[in-house]
Homo-oligomer: A and B are copies of this chain.
Amino acid sequence: MIEDSFPPLNSTFLVPFRYTVHFTKDIFSPTNHCLSEFFVSEKKEGSTKKALVVIDQGLLVHNPDLVSKVRSYFKGLDSFVQLTEDIMVIPGGEDCKNDPKVWESLVDAVDRYGIDRHSYIIAVGGGAILDLVGYVAAISHRGIRLVRIPTTVLSQNDSGVGVKNGINYQGKKNFLGSFAPPVAVFNDLLFLESLDDRDWRSGMAEAIKVALIKDKDFFLWIESNAEALRNRDLEKMSYLVHTCAKLHMDHIAKGDPFEFGSSRPLDFGHWAAHKLEYLTNFSLRHGEAVAIGMALDSEYSFRIQFLPEGDRNRILSLLKEIGFSLYHPKLSEGEKKNLYLGLQEFREHLGGKLTIMLLHGIGIAKEVHEIDLKTLSSAVDFLEENL
């Protein structure tokens, strides 16, 4: 038999990734060298690198001169990186991930301007723009160098410093996407000043999440500074962003960066949040939905005697003090059937058995593989009645 003559061939290899997240203020100011030094350091003999810049339209309200500021910034850098003729300005928010025409306009720009694998796409904006542009960068020429400049709390401390991208397809969130680390990230704190209160607040949900599952000291710090954070203290917020980004990045680098396994520890509070975002037609911000999801899973953790009562009280108090609502009527809609469906969808999303992260204490997470629906229901009722 022929099949006996040829042994199987095994291929085993490790692919190295490396990127740096920089923290700065007013990145496109002529006196700020953070970004220019990056391009100078990337210079290679004999190559001409181009850069296509994509800017979130929403930024222009508070930064009307942003496009011309970007152009001026790159003027002296021609021998290191050349901007394309156009800077693209596209509307941000979830809608940009829904419309295939926006995706296509970006791919066309990559083609038109001859952006090759060693050139750059620089995305400036919130999480949705970064997801979309990251996806375009990942699949064009099998991967163009992506530089992210996240401009919201959520993208600076969570999604923008991670390794995922994606767009929606036929209404399915992140149905198309990939794991593709950026080559560099620049968190510009100045952009946070012009966020509206909802965006300022909702980005903090992921910081509370990562504190709850990984770092009690960070939780204590957020507790002590809750009032200042709510009142838009930029120094405190910078510390929160830096610490959350660090915990998030450490988790990725030390864990399973491309999520080959089924465990998803960073998804604490997220199963209900995903469903709520969908049920509210995304009128809830991601962080607002995550805050409710964390309240629910903390309350559930308490009710199944995982989480001590004192810890549960502190968690719910902190979420309220930051300014989050901890209940939404959609949780109970249809005798909670929609919520239960959310559990099932989360299991399908994981592609294996149900795995839900709960809390044994502040900073102590533990996975479970089943959820008691009666207890879950009573936890929802508690949130409705008390919060």
Contact = CB atoms under 8 A, between A and B. Distances in A.
B9 A20 contact: yes
B351 A47 contact: yes
Interface size class on chain A is 35 or more
A146 to B, nearest CB: 13
Contacts of A138: 178
B2 A235 contact: yes
A238 B117 contact: no
A20 B10 contact: yes
A39 interface: no
14 contacts: A2-B23, A2-B238, A3-B23, A11-B19, A11-B161, A11-B252, A11-B253, A12-B253, A13-B17, A47-B262, A107-B175, A142-B174, A142-B178, A142-B179
Interface string A234-248: 110011001001100
A111 to B, nearest CB: 7
Copies in the complex: 2
A138 to B, nearest CB: 6
A269 B189 CA distance: 50
Interface in A27-78: 32, 34, 44-47
Nearest to A352: B47
Contact of A170 (B46, B111, B176, B180): B111
Interface of A is mostly: mixed
A19 B2 CA distance: 21
B17 A15 contact: yes
Contacts of A349: 116, 141
Contact of A181 (B11, B19, B235): B11
A143 B245 contact: no
A150 to B, nearest CB: 13
Nearest to A141: B175
Given A11-B19, A20-B8, A21-B11, A169 B258 contact: no
A354 to B, nearest CB: 8
Interface string A353-383: 1000000000000000100000000000000
A11 B235 contact: no
A164 B178 contact: no
Nearest to A3: B24
A337 interface: no
Contacts of A1: 25
Nearest to A5: B238
Closest CB pairs A-B (n = 3): A116-B351, A118-B351, A46-B353
A261 to B, nearest CB: 9
A234 B2 CA distance: 9
A253 B138 CA distance: 21
A107 to B, nearest CB: 7
Nearest to A349: B116
Residue of A13, A21, A161, A348 ringed by the most chain B CB atoms within 10 A: A13
B25 A3 contact: yes
Contacts of A114: 348
A140 interface: yes
Contacts of A23: 2-3, 5-8
B11 A111 contact: no
A257 interface: yes
